[in-house]
Amino acid sequence: MAAEQSDIEAAKWFTKAAEQGDADAQFKLGDMYMQGRGVNQSDVEAVKWFTKAAEQGYASAQSNIGWMYEQGRGVEQSYIEAFKWYIKAAEQGSALVLLKLGEMYEKGIGVEKSDVEAAKWYTKAAEQSKGYAVALFNLGLMYEQGQGVEQNDVEALKWYTKAAEQGRLEAKTSIGAMYEKGQGVEQSDVEAVKWFTKASEQGHKTAQFNLGFMYDQGRGVEQSDAEAFKWYTKAAKQGYAAAQFRLGNMYRKGRGVEQSDVETVKWYTKAAEQGEAVAQSDLGLVYFKGDGVEQSDVEAAKWFTRAVEQGNAVAQFYLGLMYKQGREVEQSDVEAVKWFTKAAEQGNVLAQSIIGMLYEQGQGVEQSDTEAAKWFTRASEQGHTTAQVHLGLMYEQGQGVEQSDVEAFKWYSKAAEQGPTFIKLKLGMMYEKGNGVEQSDVEAAKWYTKAVWLATAKRS
């Protein structure tokens, strides 16, 4: 009660002084109206007195009137007016306003976007004696990304370190990432873990995810599924999509936790709903195969479709398979080829092999041995056995490629250990006849024996 009476008295005397043009009294009276202390709360009155003080060059009033325009309190909202008043306050060195101007230039709010101007104002704010942690961090980010300044990892680390010293969690996480990648500093997983741990223990979700990953991979710390699970869980519960996906994986494989299909689907779904493409793809695959859930082509198609919109190669392959088989979509070899091709172009080896077969057979596309050989080659170079067999046959027969027993032998040999029985027979015959390889009865007998043994084993 006494405090309230004191505010009323203060407001009375500030009003008398303010009406006589005292800028300090005008600012303080505006602040009392804004907070409703000693007077009835009124943003309109607050704006009135802040404006009078601001027009006399009172920096704090200029800053406050800028904020009122930014928020639309007591005046019609206007970023342009807010920017105008922030500039006036900044010219007098208000650090908080320097930071605000950097943000407005960076985002193009109330002024034309300019990374150069943003960096300038962040630098001014950072160089203040107290140096706002946000400004320090933002300046580090601009140096790391080369926004408005020449890209410089060393400078980025310098400003991140200053921000971290003031407790900025994003800065600690960024320092950890720079040590992990060796940006602006000698690469050190141990140092990365140290910084990720500092930020993680204070609840920073990105750091928690990164720390989980380091435990997952055993980088800079002894590998531990239990610790990885712990940190992924903390980040996942804060809504970090990549952590939710990783957590789903751990439940799926029973790593660091008891295996649970229910928990797998739960966390995949949370990540997928946030747009995590790999989670969408894996969730689609779970439904496609009925792996721990009731099989559903509807759900599979839904999640594969969302993932392909982000260019996920695995989802492109399986969507192609759904079109090829007519599962929940109208069967279409043309659509199948379209999606297989997209996946194949991203290096998906299964798609490369299948698209080779479709060209070889002329399904959904004009028959072309040349194209078939091209895709079989790409898949073969990634070690795909079926593709290697097909490519060997194409070289042996001169189909889509120049006939070459040497190349045929080369690809048959690569496929032989895991390939079908007839490939072992092929190698035996090539050694026996000296086709594409130096003639050798010993090698021929070896491969014939393997073929016979395999055939006998399959029958028994």
Question: Quick check: 201 and 207 in contact, CB under 8 A?
Answer: no
Chain-centroid distance of CA 41 in Å reads 46
Count Cβ atoms below 10 Å from residue 72 Cβ, excluding itself.
13
How is residue 276 annotated by DSSP? -
- This prediction's pTM: 0.78
pLDDT tens across 196-215, in order? 999 999 999 999 999 999 99
pLDDT tens across 182-192, in order? 999 999 999 99
CA distance 287 to 309: 19
Q: What is the 3-state secondary structure (H, E, C) of 380-436?
A: HHCCCHHHHHHHHHHHHHCCCCCCCHHHHHHHHHHHHCCCCHHHHHHHHHHHHHCCC
The tokens for 342 are 């997209």
pLDDT tens across 46-84, in order? 999 999 999 999 989 999 999 999 999 999 999 999 999
Cα separations (Å) of 195 from 121, 154, 239, 457? 28, 17, 21, 57
Listed residue (278, 350, 341) closest to 315, CA to CA: 278
pLDDT at 5: 67
pLDDT at 71: 95
Listed residue (179, 176, 220, 184) closest to 202, CA to CA: 176
Asked which of 2-16, 58-72, 80-94, 315-329 is least confident by mean pLDDT, the reply is 2-16
CA distance 168 to 99: 15
pLDDT at 454: 60
The tokens for 204 are 């920073």
The tokens for 121 are 């104002």
Q: What is the 3-state secondary structure (H, E, C) of 62-128?
A: HHHHHHHHHHCCCCCCCHHHHHHHHHHHHCCCCHHHHHHHHHHHHHCCCCCCCHHHHHHHHHHHHCC
Cα separations (Å) of 7 from 23, 50, 237, 279? 19, 18, 45, 58
Q: What backbone torsions phi and psi does residue 185 show, to the nearest 5 degrees?
A: -160, 155
**Beta strand spans in 106-187 (E):** none
Listed residue (331, 313, 391, 403) closest to 356, CA to CA: 391
Please report which confidence band the pLDDT of residue 1 belongs to, taking 50, 70 and 90 as the band edges.
very low
CA distance 210 to 324: 39
Fold of 168-254: 1.25.40
Give the mean model confidence (pLDDT) for residues 254-272: 96
pLDDT at 450: 86
CA distance 46 to 456: 95
Question: Quick check: 380 and 391 in contact, CB under 8 A?
Answer: yes
CA distance 460 to 456: 6
Please report which confidence band the pLDDT of residue 4 belongs to, taking 50, 70 and 90 as the band edges.
low
One-letter amino acid for residue 331 of the chain: Q
Which residue ranges make up each domain of the chain? 168-254
